[in-house]
Amino acid sequence: MSQVLHTPPQTQAAPHGDLAALAARHGLTVSGARPSLPEYIRQLWARRHFITAFATAKLTAQYSQAKLGQVWQVMTPLLNAAVYYFIFGVLLETKKGVADFIPFLVTGVFVWTFTQSSIMAGTRAIGGSIGLVRALHFPRAALPISFCLQQLQQLLFSMAALLIILFAVGVPPALSWVLVLPALTLQFVFNAGVSMILARLGANTPDISQLMPFILRTWMYISGVMWSIDNLLEKHQGMPTWVADLLRANPAAVYIDLMRFALIDSFHASQLPPHVWLVATGWALLAGVGGFIYFWKAEETYGRG
């Protein structure tokens, strides 16, 4: 059949029904259709090595041109902590009434940075890797998850810096340090969920990534990163209770306080919000499961148009 088709092209030999039947007979499937949720999870699991390799590669590529190389992994968080100490500890004196202010502040900054950069990376997860999305087939959720994993690795370096600080200011090691693991796991799930939500939003509306820094900064200031929510509530006794509850139920504040409780011996359980582990798990499940399903729902649309 090598006839020249003139415009408009005449209908080919087989009408539509026949081709569909032919496809069905040979078990051909529609190209580019969204897989079912269990199938999607299976595909994602099959790509787990890619997810980790991509995260590690991004992390190492980050400082590969710098003379000091990977030393910056620890230097950057330390310098960040120094800047925040100077501004909030020395200039603004938020350290009043907070025991072990340096570890308190540094823990807050590191844990917050983990959530913040995960979410920022999430908004650019699809748009920033558009070449990858347009060239290769893989469950797209691999991208936001991989970016969050990169941030988690980054945080582990920061934690090493934090350990140095803890020793330097004389906070003794304690059994409660083990609690870092469940706290980080929950926070990672929460971050991954939120960044999947923003990955979908950011894929449709790239403008989100312009807006996010402002939202995140506001969120940071109400999360008690550099100051103690407890102290604030004591100072303003007249505040309605729902404001206090809201401030304490804020997921960022919850994860930050859990980490402080785990690492700093002068940060007591009484300073934690009520049912803190339950709240932390709830946020993680809500964001993690909800974000994953929300992201999967638009799987076939990423990187198109």
Partner 1 sequence: MAENATHTAPTALTEPVDERAPTVIADGVDIVYRINGTGSGRGSATAALNRIIRPRQAQKAAGMRTVHAVKNVTFVAYKGEAIGLIGTNGSGKSTLLKGIAGLQPVENGKIYTDGQPSLLGVNAALMGDLTGERNVYLGGLAMGMTREQIKERYQEIVDFSGINEKGDFISLPMRTYSSGMGSRLRFSIAAAKDHDVLLIDEALSTGDARFQARSAERIQEMRAHAGTVFLVSHSNAAIRETCDRVLWLERGELRMDGPTEEVLEAYEAFTGDKKKPKPKPKPA
Residues that bind partner 1 (CB under 8 A): 1-5, 7-9, 11-14, 16, 18-20, 22-23, 25-33, 46-47, 49-50, 53-54, 57-58, 60-61, 64-65, 129, 131-138, 205, 207, 300-301, 303-305
Note the helical H segments in 47-179. 48-62, 72-84, 101-123, 130-135, 142-169
CB of 79 to partner 1, least distance (A): 22
Residue 290 CB, shortest distance to partner 1, in Å, is 23
Q: How many CA atoms, within 13 angstroms, populate the side-chain half-sphere of residue 223?
A: 26
Please report, as a single letter, which amino acid is at residue 64.
S
Using the minimum distance from each CB to partner 1, give the nearer residue, 4 or 278: 4
C-beta separation of 169 from 100 below 8 A: yes
Quote the least distance from Cβ 218 to partner 1, whole Å. 20
* Amino acid at the residue 25: R
77: cis peptide before it, omega within 30°? no
Least separation in angstroms between residue 13's CB and partner 1 is 3
By C-beta, is 176 or 204 nearer to partner 1?
204
Q: Which amino acid is at 294?
A: Y
* Residue 53 vs 246, nearer CB to partner 1: 53
Backbone φ/ψ region at 128: left (φ over 0), alpha (ψ -120 to 50), beta? alpha
User: Is 49 or 235 the residue whose CB approaches partner 1 more closely?
Assistant: 49
104 with 228: CB under 8 angstroms? yes
CB of 298 vs partner 1, minimal distance in Å = 12
Q: What is the DSSP letter of 240?
A: -
CB of 1 to partner 1, least distance (A): 5
Give the other-Cβ count within 10 Å of 60's Cβ. 14
Compare residues 60 and 231 and give the one whose CB is closer to partner 1. 60
Given the complex with partner 1, which of 18 and 234 has the nearer CB atom?
18
Residue closer to partner 1 (CB basis): 57 or 82: 57
How far is Cα 87 from Cα 149, in angstroms, rounded to an integer? Answer: 30
- The owner of tokens 């140095």 is 164
**Least distance to partner 1, CB of residue 192, Å:** 19
